Amino acid sequence: MKVCLVGNPNCGKTTLFNALTGLNQKVGNYSGVTVDKFSGSFKSQGQTIELVDLPGTYSLYPNSEDEVVVYNVLVNDVSQQPDVVVLVLNASQIRRSLILATQVMQLEIPCVIAINMVDEVNEHDCLLYKKKIEHYFSVPVCLISATQQKGLSSLKQKLHESKQVTLPYEPAWQELHHQLSDTFEREATYKDYVTYCLSNQILLPKQKQKSISSIQQNHRYSTTKAMSMDIRERYKIINELLKQTIESKPNPKLTQTQNIDRILTHKVFGLPIALVVMYLLFQAIFSFSSYPMDFVEQLFVWMSNIAQASIPEGWIQDLIINGILAGLSGVLVFIPQIAVLFGLLAILEGTGYLARISFMLDRLMRKFGLSGRAVLPMMSGFACAIPAVMATRTISSWKERLISIMVIPLLSCSARLPVYILLIGMFIPEEKVFLFIGLQGLTMMAFYIAGLLLALLIAGILQRILGASDQQYFIMELPTYRFPQWRNVLLTMYQKAKIFAVEAGKVIFVISIVLWILATFGPANEMSLVHQEFTQLEQTNNGLTPEQEKLYSQELLLHSFAGKIGKTIEPVIQPLGYDWKIGIALLTSFAAREVFVGTMATIYSVEYNEDNPTPLQERLKSEKDPETGKPIYSVATIVSLLIFFAFAMQCMSTLAIVYRETKSWKWPFIQLLYMTVLAYALSFAAFQLLH
Partner 1 sequence: MTVDQLRIGQKGKIKQFYQEKIALLMNELGIFQGEMIEVTSRSPLGDPICVKTPELFLSIRQCDAQYIEIEL
Query: Which residue ranges make up the site for partner 1 (CB under 8 A)?
Result: 58-59, 61, 63, 92-93, 95-96, 99, 222, 224-225, 227-228, 231-232, 235, 250-251, 254, 257-258, 261-262, 265-268, 270-271, 355, 358-364, 372, 471, 473-480
Q: How far is the CB of 267 from partner 1 (least distance, A)?
A: 5
Q: How far apart are CA 672 and CA 655, in angstroms?
A: 8
Q: How far apart are CA 372 and CA 365, in angstroms?
A: 6
Q: How far is the CB of 260 from partner 1 (least distance, A)?
A: 11
Angle formed by the axes of helices 439-466 and 635-647, nearest 10°: 40
Q: How far is the CB of 132 from partner 1 (least distance, A)?
A: 17
Eight-state DSSP code of residue 412:
-
Q: Would you say 43 or 367 has its CB closer to partner 1?
A: 367
Q: Would you say 95 or 150 has its CB closer to partner 1?
A: 95
Q: How far is the CB of 453 from partner 1 (least distance, A)?
A: 18
Q: How far apart are CA 444 and CA 452, in angstroms?
A: 13
CB 679 within 8 A of CB 644: yes
Q: Would you say 369 or 522 has its CB closer to partner 1?
A: 369
Q: What is the enclosing helix (H) or strand (E) of 7?
A: strand 2-7
Q: Where are the beta strands (DSSP E) in 485-580?
A: none
Q: Would you say 250 or 543 has its CB closer to partner 1?
A: 250
**CA nearest 18: which of 46, 51, 67, 45?**
51
Q: Would you say 231 or 419 has its CB closer to partner 1?
A: 231
Q: How far is the CB of 95 from partner 1 (least distance, A)?
A: 6
CB 37 within 8 A of CB 30: yes
Q: How far apart are CA 67 and CA 657, in angstroms?
A: 19
CB-hemisphere CA count at 13 Å for 640? 26
Q: How far apart are CA 416 and CA 326, in angstroms?
A: 18
Q: How far apart are CA 529 and CA 287, in angstroms?
A: 50
Q: How far is the CB of 250 from partner 1 (least distance, A)?
A: 7
Q: Would you say 284 or 478 has its CB closer to partner 1?
A: 478
Eight-state DSSP code of residue 32:
T
Q: Would you say 48 or 122 has its CB closer to partner 1?
A: 122
Q: Would you say 274 or 592 has its CB closer to partner 1?
A: 274
**CA nearest 687: which of 607, 648, 633?**
633
DSSP string, 82-137: -SEEEEEEEGGGHHHHHHHHHHHHTTT--EEEEEE-GGGS-HHHHHHHHHHHHHHH
Q: How far apart are CA 41 and CA 82, in angstroms?
A: 14
Q: How far is the CB of 638 from partner 1 (least distance, A)?
A: 38
Q: Would you say 125 or 570 has its CB closer to partner 1?
A: 125
Q: How far apart are CA 137 and CA 158, in angstroms?
A: 15
- Give the N- to C-terminal CA distance of the chain in Å, as an integer: 69
Q: How many Cβ atoms are within 10 Å of 164's Cβ, its own excluded?
A: 13
Q: Would you say 26 or 225 has its CB closer to partner 1?
A: 225
Q: Would you say 43 or 236 has its CB closer to partner 1?
A: 236
Q: How far is the CB of 565 from partner 1 (least distance, A)?
A: 50
The β-bridge partners of 88 are: 7, 114
Q: How far is the CB of 690 from partner 1 (least distance, A)?
A: 37
Q: How far is the CB of 117 from partner 1 (least distance, A)?
A: 13
Length reported for the chain = 691
Q: How far is the CB of 475 from partner 1 (least distance, A)?
A: 5
Q: Would you say 230 or 607 has its CB closer to partner 1?
A: 230
Q: How far is the CB of 236 from partner 1 (least distance, A)?
A: 9
CB 405 within 8 A of CB 658: yes
